[in-house]
Amino acid sequence: MLKIATRKSPLALWQAEFVKSNLESLNPGLDVELVKMTTQGDQILNSPLSKIGGKSLFIKELEVGMIEGRADIAVHSMKDVPYELPQGFEIGAILERENPFDAFVSNAFSSIEELPIGARVGSCSLRRIVQLKALRPDLVILDLRGNVNTRLKKLDDGEYEAIILACSGLIRLGFEDRIKQHLSPEVSLPAVGQGALGIEIRANDHQISSLIEPLIHTKTLNEVSAERALNASLQGGCSVAIGAFATSHGSELKLIGMVGNVSSGKILRVEELGDINKPLDLGIRTADKLLSLGARALLNET
């Protein structure tokens, strides 16, 4: 019996079921059970994550369940996993990435460019907000919390003219037809790890590690590792606007990094190339370049 800790949102359950299905198909006779938990991040819906403690609010309870033996692994969206895990935990596998880009979703308009002056757009991601304002400073950006289904309902109820979500979540839940525009990295650089699923395990749990090893997607692992190394070097969390997107090109890895500040509207953006087998070096080097351009001051501004 293998027990997977998961949040109760439709997307989190889809992700856990996806891992369950893959593990069962690779290991005939293995019985996998989902252990559904509610996290603080699911309960506090009236404030932006940047003001209530960041993305770790979505995984702490799952880690407690693993410590207490109620679960063996936890499945996360890698963009929700802090760059530094608590002692005793590690990411044991990163799966193949789904579409990593941001999605423009609207019932009346087909693109950001079509939105009328002063249109209301829903997003509480500082990364998305600073990039959106750089493109369309006239837009009114309003907070948007809740799971994917809840956010779509708020759009359908007329609270916004458009909302920005991750393409991957919409695709996984069967809402791909709601995507009106895939936002290119030039318009909206994705979050670190966006579109990738990760499996968190107890550190040095060799039995579980061996069990999930076949799920590792090396290309995605290298790309996300570079992005997370950049984030770790910048000490980025939910309260700062950081984007990163790595792509593999033969033996090379390209990493684009972005730091922004919502108050000033300033954005720093760099692009670096590195060895595909040394993603951490590339992430650190790209972060260092951002820091040399003044990223720390941007991150510390309020």
Tell the residue number behind the tokens 């003001």, with chain if given: 51
Burial 5-39 (b: 16+ CB within 10 A, else e): bbbebbbbbbbbeebbeebeeeeeeeebebbebeb
What is the widest separation between alpha-carbon atoms in the chain?
58
The residues annotated with a catalytic role in the active site are 80
| Token code pair at residue 11 | 């997307």
122 contacts 151 by C-beta, under 8 angstroms: yes
Give the C-alpha separation, 196 to 189, whole Å: 15
Give the C-alpha separation, 214 to 211, whole Å: 7
CA-based torsion, 202, 207, 212, 218: positive or negative: positive
241 contacts 192 by C-beta, under 8 angstroms: no
| Token code pair at residue 116 | 């009328």
168 contacts 11 by C-beta, under 8 angstroms: no
Give the C-alpha separation, 28 to 25, whole Å: 6
143 contacts 262 by C-beta, under 8 angstroms: no
| Token code pair at residue 167 | 């393409």
End-to-end Cα, the chain, rounded Å: 48
34 contacts 135 by C-beta, under 8 angstroms: no
